[in-house]
Amino acid sequence: MFTYFFRRLLAALPAIFGVIVIVFLIVRLAPGDPALMLAGELATPEILQLTRERLGLDKPWFINTEAFLEQGNPLALFDTQFTAFIVNLAQGDLGASTRTRSPVLTELGNFYPATLELALGAMIVALLIGIPAGLIAAVKPNTIVDYFVTLGALIGVSMPVFWFGLLAILFFSVQLGWFPVAGRGTLAHLVLPAISLGAGSAAIIARMTRSAMLEVLSQDYVRTARAKGLAQRLVINKHAFRNALIPVVTITGLQFGTLMAGAVLTETVFTWPGIGSLLVTSILARDYPVVQGAVLLIAISFIVINLLVDMIYGAIDPRIRYD
């Protein structure tokens, strides 16, 4: 198992490095001058230059040929913005917010738990609805129940998250007054955002569960179990569901990563104080250090979640570990 984990970790490293490079380039290709934003509109050219030097923006991005030609030292080639970015990242230094002047790591630490809480809540909703619905639809194919689940899954996949959230607020908060309209603090605040964010994932998991169960139920060993007189409940629980769970686990992991990355709209609709709302606020304020840190955190979270899914996948089906 350790060897399998080590192989999967090595496979994830290029993806993490690619994300770091992309985030580095996005921030530097974005419009606006970070030095000007930090120093202020009234800053003199001398102050702007000092600010650029302090931020390391006076150096080339990847290769510093000028420093190499001046010093003749091959290491001078790597006296660049990217090298400084990697070193600072390894030290946990993502810079400071140009909007609040507080460290980016502190900003992310204040908002990330709320996004994680929302994603976990949405994932629980998706699993509690998706797996039973897909299971029932597979056990009763071509019935009114199957058609109802299929139609519900189609609606869940098609409806935009923000539209679902607005309808939920209008009906359950404004009309019925059952749940708060916005904010975070109690379980009641979490219910509507979690349902709104998890509805699409519930539909996808239901469709995957139904498809996987129908495929497994058509296998010879399931027919043999039924021919031996085993009850339907035992056939489903002991033989079919475990094997059908493998693709469901895979899609669940992908959906959880998608929920983490796609919480922006839900957090905006419900004024949920998570990474998504922080990202929107920072983009509007051109607070590029926070944008850089938030995108990097979301992307790495997605990769780590998929790495964990690979571990669970290997635990459910030991054959995967030896492929």
Task: Tell me the mean pLDDT per 10 residues along the chain, length 323.
Answer: 70 82 80 68 74 72 76 77 83 79 87 89 91 87 87 85 83 82 80 88 89 80 70 71 78 80 80 84 80 85 78 64 51
pLDDT at 128: 92
* Domain layout of the chain by residue ranges: 32-93, 104-322
Report DSSP state, residue 96.
B
Q: What is the CA radius of gyration of the chain?
A: 25
Tell me the CB-side half-sphere exposure of residue 141, using CA atoms within 13 A: 11
- The one-letter amino acid code at 43 reads A
pLDDT at 314: 64
pLDDT at 281: 83
- Joined tokens for residue 295: 């995108």
CATH of 104-322, one of 1.10.3720.10, 3.40.1370.10, 2.60.15.10, 1.10.10.10: 1.10.3720.10
Is the Cα torsion angle 178, 161, 248, 244 positive or negative in sign? positive
